[in-house]
Amino acid sequence: MARKRKGDSVSVLGVVLVGLVALVASVPVEVWLFVGGVVLAFFAYRYFKAKPSSEPPETQPMPQSKATPRPRARALKSSDMDEPVSVTSTAAASPSTDTSEYRLPAAPKGFGNATWLGAGQPVNVAGFSIPGGLIYVGTRLKTPSGDNDPCLIDPSLSVSKSGDYTERQMGYWPSYGAISSSARGAYLKWLAGGRQDPSADIGYVFLFFYGLERRAILDASSDAAARAEWPVIAEELRRLLDIYGQKSGSFRRYAVELLNWVSTVEHPERLYEKAVPSFPRSLELPLYVRHALGIAAVDGVPVPAGLALAWARLEPGVVLRTPAIRCPEQFDALFVQKYEQQFGAGMVLPRNRTKLKLVYRPASAGFRGYNDLRLTFGEVPDVSVLTGPVKKLQDLVDATSKELESYSRFVGKSVTGKNSLEGLLQLPPTLWPEQAQKALQQLKARMGEGMVAMPFQDLLNALGATTAFTKDKTLSLARTLESANVGFEPDVLAGAKTPKPEEKVVLFALPPSEQLSRTNGPYLAAALTLQLASAVATSDGEFGIKEMGHLRETVLSWTHLTPGQKRRLLAHLRLLMQAPASLTALKKKFEPLELNVRETIAAFMATVAQSDGEVSPGEVKMLEKVYKALGVDSKKVFSDVHAVAAGTKPTAAAVAKVEESGFKLDPARIAALQKDTEKVSALLANIFTDTDEPAVAVAEPVEAETEAEPSEASAGLLGLDEAHTSLARMMLSRPEWSRAELLDVAADLDLMLDGALEHINEAAFEAHDMALFEGEDPVTVNTEILDKVEA
């Protein structure tokens, strides 16, 4: 029974096994594969968890990568700039199997957020020592687009030492991060050289300018330190404009606009009272000047002379001729004098409708995303649109230039001699330099209210003459001295002979307000009387102090002469004392004249000599000598004197009375005789004209004073007339205008807006084959035409 139960158990087990096999066989293969994978994963996990680590995790060496990642570095601070900062580019690390400990190196200076270097802060980038500052250095300086600013000098970028900044290696909108390593080297080399080489490609100048633009506008909008740098940036812009302004019209336009911004964004209330900073002449009147003029119009005050001068020099509608360019100091001084003479305290401007505004057009691509960069000035008008004041300025400029033409020609031939006496004689004494004016004042101090005699050469030496003086130069000297109220004898302006260097001349004070007449008959007769009297007295050996005193009293008694004529006669008498006239020479001048002509002159001299109403025996004796010198019978003195006194023929008793005690004249009769002097004046004028030795005349070519501005300046922009030129220039000052704004401008110019706009666009197409503007409201200006207009 037991064996049977054992057999039964085996049978049951077999059945179970067969059932299991059948069950397993019925399971799909994919299930078994999944189950097997789970089991293997379990045993693997148990195995690795149970095995201990061979080394602690903290001492696990960092594998060397093929390229070292850029480390994070702190930004440059101003304290780092006490000494030049060395900034070099990073190089790729070579692969290595070295398992030694590795530490991350400290970040080189200059990496990280960009830092602005102020003026004069030095820095060293890629081996280039840059001394001037005014640049951004670092690896991050983001713009709204997410890119680095084009001006940023990134020290992590490669730099070639062989770059040549005189060659063009960049596109129109350069960016330091996008240009080639050769161009970066060229740019750094230009910066290291003081950014002053005029042969540099303008692209490098723009690249530097982008940094100034960002600092002056974007940084300054939220940083007081940046705003404090506006004057420094303004001076740097002026320096760059002096070097590169004529090289590129595009750069000049952008730099002038930034200069306008930094010069005007902060301003005092009465800006017109301040000295005008330096601005280059450009397509439009600088905003600073327009603002000052606008405030003057609002306040209703006259435009000061200094502001008017800046307006005249910088107004594109005013044509400046050669003297204004070649002789700026003299032009400015004379313009101010004439302006004050014509307008007193200054022109008063109307308050027109056009409002002053600046819409800034940035040069840098880093400004993309900043849409509203503008300055507004409330109700301050833009008076530059007015044509009336500009026309007055042009007239004043023309008058000033004309008066300086001869001096300008002299300077054009001899730049080194512009301060010599020969050059200064072409100028009014008020325009002489300080040293020359001091020399003239010293002469006037010696002269006082009287006179001073000296050799002609001593006078020339005192005034700084460097060459021998010809007749023409002596005439210029006499005219210049007379304009300074200093008379010069001999009277070369009346035809007297030019003095030799060793001969005496006499300087004397002239009344400031008197216009001296040299063709006046009584004056000429009086001068001839002195010459004849001195010549006769000298020939008789009687011309001493006593005779000199008598003639002086005689001159002072001639009431028909002006104070200036008397002073000149006294100076002439002083000269005659030093160098008496030759009686022989005087007689030769009278010999060609008919006897009746000489008698007429003699009788007229008798009238003049006695014009005080009394005739002394001494005067009668002098007249006898004069008559004799003229070849007229001396006995006629008595008859002529008596005829003047009473208008009748003299009797023997009358003649005897004259010889003994003199007599009084009839004033009415004298006046009647003196009126009839035209014939005598014409005769005497020839007597006083001395001819110098004949000289060979060399005709010097006369330099044509050409306009310094292009012909378009006088013809108008795009060939337009004055009013349409003003409208076109105003439109070019901003990229966009509302119709309401343009209506105000047109009203100020007395133009119908629609017709004016059409006319301007036609002129633009005619000149440059493109429109100046598009649209109706707003009106968008085509900025591409700016470079063509300025070219």
Indicate the pLDDT class of residue 707, thresholds 50, 70 and 90: very low
Q: According to CATH, where is 1.10.10.10 located in the chain?
A: 719-791
pLDDT at 311: 96
User: Beta strands of 619-775 (E only): which ranges?
Assistant: 663-664, 736-737, 773-774
Kindly tell me the sign of the dihedral angle through the C-alpha atoms of 203, 205, 208, 210: negative
Q: Counting beta carbons within 10 angstroms of the beta carbon of residue 373, is it exposed (0 to 12), middle (13 to 18) or buried (19 or more)?
A: middle
Helix (H) or strand (E) holding 213: helix 202-213
Q: What is the C-alpha to C-alpha distance for residues 424 and 477, in angstroms, rounded to an integer? A: 9
Q: What is the mean pLDDT of the chain?
A: 76
User: Each residue of 426-471: pLDDT tens digit?
Assistant: 888 889 888 888 988 998 888 888 889 999 999 998 888 888 888 8
Q: Considering the domain 719-791 in this protein, what is its CATH number?
A: 1.10.10.10
d(CA 370, CA 453): 77
pLDDT tens per residue across span 34-79 = 666 666 666 665 655 544 443 333 333 323 333 323 333 333 333 3
What's the pTM? Answer: 0.64
Q: State in Å, rounded, how far the first CA of the chain is from the last one.
A: 130
What is the tens place of the pLDDT at every residue in 324-353?
Answer: 999 999 999 999 999 999 999 999 999 988
| Element (DSSP H or E) covering residue 657 | helix 652-661
What pLDDT sits at residue 789? 67
The H-or-E segment that residue 49 falls in is: helix 29-50
In whole angstroms, give the CA distance from residue 328 to residue 325: 6
The per-residue DSSP string of 737-770 comes to: E-HHHHHHHHHHTT--HHHHHHHHHHHHHHHHSS
Distance CA 14, CA 21 (A): 11
The token pair at 332 is 């400015």
- Of residues 614, 612, 636, the one with CA closest to residue 623: 636
Reported as a single tens digit per residue, the pLDDT across 99-155 is 344 443 444 555 678 899 999 999 999 889 999 899 999 999 988 888 899 999 999
Q: In what order do the strands lie in the sheet with 779-781?
A: 736-737, 779-781, 773-774
Residue 627 pLDDT exceeds 60: yes
312: Cβ contacts below 8 Å, ≥ 6 apart: 318, 335, 393, 396, 397
